[in-house]
Amino acid sequence: MDGRAFRAMKFGFLALLAIGVGAYAWMVYGNPSKVGEQSFVIEKGALPDLWSKALWAHAVSAGFAIAIGWLQFLGRLRRRAPALHRIIGYAYSLGIAIAGVSALYLAVYADGGPSGKLGFGMLALLWLFTLVQGLRSIIVYRDSKRHGRWMIRNYALTCAAISLRLYTLLSAALFGLSDTNDTFVVISWLCWLPNLLLAEAWVRRRSHVF
């Protein structure tokens, strides 16, 4: 298998994971009236009504964004259908804006103690920061390469939704740890920090991106 085919296979796998996680979020949390019936929500105990509304907004908007975000990295789509690329970009950006703001609120109540709250809070802040930088790059400076690099960083953070579920499953399977008050001490950082570092290394290595 040559390098191009292998890269296409990896990208296809990422797209499948992104669509799967997005679909899962919509299936589980898509109905706002049933958010309170989910086991995760029940285990959280008594929380303000705003929390369940924020969880619904976060799950639906982030699920939508991760499911469509990978399309923006298809060079053929950008070249042949720039208008569609912009439409998807606007939709993705709106989804991330809603997901990021709601994530900031949810981080206050996150499991994992202070480490969990800080980890998820940092994720939300960087998520919004990279989005703003990406939008400024293309809207204000008309710099498509800079825009592309910032959006790679942003989507790497979006993919924390994939990493979070992967590490949660591995924690349960390998170490028998299923209580998020224990696992989120580490996973709240592990789900996004390696993603961002890998994205940064890739962007720096390929300065001609976009």
Average pLDDT value over all residues in the chain:
95
Q: What is the pLDDT of residue 189?
A: 99
We report the CATH number of the domain holding residue 131 as 1.20.120
Q: What is the pLDDT of residue 210?
A: 61
Confidence of residue 208 (pLDDT cuts 50, 70, 90): low
Rg (CA), the chain: 17
pLDDT in tens, 94-135: 999 999 999 999 999 999 999 999 999 999 999 999 999 999
pLDDT in tens, 59-84: 999 999 999 999 999 999 999 999 99
Domain membership flag for residue 107? yes
What mean pLDDT comes out for the span 28-32? 94
Contacts (Cβ under 8 Å, ≥6 apart) of 130: 150, 151, 153, 154, 157
pLDDT above 90: residue 7? no
What mean pLDDT comes out for the span 191-203? 98
Contacts (Cβ under 8 Å, ≥6 apart) of 73: 11, 152, 155
Looking at the structure of the chain, the number of domains it has is 1
What mean pLDDT comes out for the span 190-195? 99
Domain membership flag for residue 184? yes
DSSP state of 28: H
pLDDT above 70: residue 209? no
Residue of 206, 52, 184 lying closest to 112 (CA atoms): 184
Domain membership flag for residue 1? no
- What is the domain range of residue 81? 16-205
DSSP helix, strand, coil percent of the chain (3-state; round to 5) = 85, 0, 15
Domain membership flag for residue 4? no
